Amino acid sequence: MLGAFSTNHLFYLLNGLLWTVVLSALAFVLGGIAGFFVMLARVSRFRWLRRTALVYIQIVQGTPLLIQMFLLYFGLGVFGIAVPPLVAAGLGMMVYSSSYLGEIWRGAVESIAKTQFEAAECLGLTRWQALRDVILPQALKIATPPTVGFLVQLVKNTSLASVVGFLELTRAAQVINNSLFQPFLVFGFAALFYFCVCYPLSVWSRSLERKLNAGRR
């Protein structure tokens, strides 16, 4: 049985893993930038901005990622834009990341006591300066463990890009399985590769969390 699964197949899977990592990085960076603005909107002084961001988040977090990808894939298609799978997947994951990262970062910012804001403003700093010089540096430390934790979710969710045809690890495994018909072996290897990427990140996130709590006392 193992004879049919050759090193060529293994390399095919590894290639898929590479694209998984690429998509994850893309989604994290782009989603992170968008998420930063989502966070700003959520803590803004303007009620309409806060409301809009909230609705955005509730919609994105209230629908399956798969449906979001379909909407983008077919949606952009009907407007005449030919969407390669990477773009559809990337866009879908970017929207998804922006909402979750936005919420995580909002939580971190809001956990910095109001008094810090007041102290900064008493010194004459503008709201934006207070945010940039006082709040954000502190929020960064608090936000890091859950952000790393989210990265694990992100990598796992790139597996859904396979459904819109993007050739990442899960799709690669499907392709191989369709010719070899050895699902335990093929998907087993795929799971192993995902595990090798995600588990270290999970461990890192937990250790960051512990260090943060120890420092807080």
Partner 1 sequence: MQYQFDFGALVPYWKDFLSGALTTIEIALFSVIIGMGIGVACAIARRSNLTILRGIVGVYIETVRNTPFIVQIFFIFFGLSSIGFRLPIIAASVFAMVINVGAYTAEIVRAGMDSIHPSQIEAAEALGLSRFQIYRDIILLPAIERVYPSLSSQFILMMLSTSICSQISAEELTGVANNIQSNTFRSLETYFVVALIYIAITYLMRAAFFGLGLIAFPRRRRLGLGL
| From 30-38, 115-123, 129-137, 152-160, span contacting partner 1 (CB under 8 A) | 152-160
Q: How far is the CB of 170 from partner 1 (least distance, A)?
A: 6
Site string for partner 1, 85-124 (x = CB under 8 A): ----------------------------------------
Q: According to the binding rule CB under 8 A, does residue 126 interact with partner 1?
A: no
Per-residue CA distances from 172 to 15, 20, 40, 165 (Å): 8, 10, 39, 10
In angstroms, the CA 207 to CA 182 distance is 37
Which conformational region is residue 80 in: left (phi greater than 0), alpha (psi within -120 to 50 degrees), or beta? left
Q: How far is the CB of 99 from partner 1 (least distance, A)?
A: 13
Could you say which residues in the range 159-178 bind partner 1, by CB under 8 A?
Answer: 159-160, 162-163, 170, 173-174, 177
Can you read off the two tokens belonging to residue 17? Answer: 């893993």
For the four alpha carbons of 44, 130, 99 and 145, in that order, the dihedral sign comes to negative
Give the total of residues touching partner 1 (CB under 8 A). Answer: 41
Q: According to the binding rule CB under 8 A, does residue 183 interact with partner 1?
A: yes
Q: Judge whether 161 and 23 are in contact, CB under 8 Å.
A: yes
For partner 1, which residue of 30, 75, 117, 208 counts as binding (CB under 8 A)?
75
In angstroms, the CA 44 to CA 65 distance is 27
Q: According to the binding rule CB under 8 A, does residue 15 interact with partner 1?
A: no
For partner 1, which residue of 6, 58, 111, 207 counts as binding (CB under 8 A)?
58
Please give the residue ranges that form the binding site for partner 1 (CB under 8 A).
58-59, 62-68, 70-71, 74-75, 77-80, 152, 156-157, 159-160, 162-163, 170, 173-174, 177, 181-184, 187-188, 190-191, 194-195, 198-199, 202
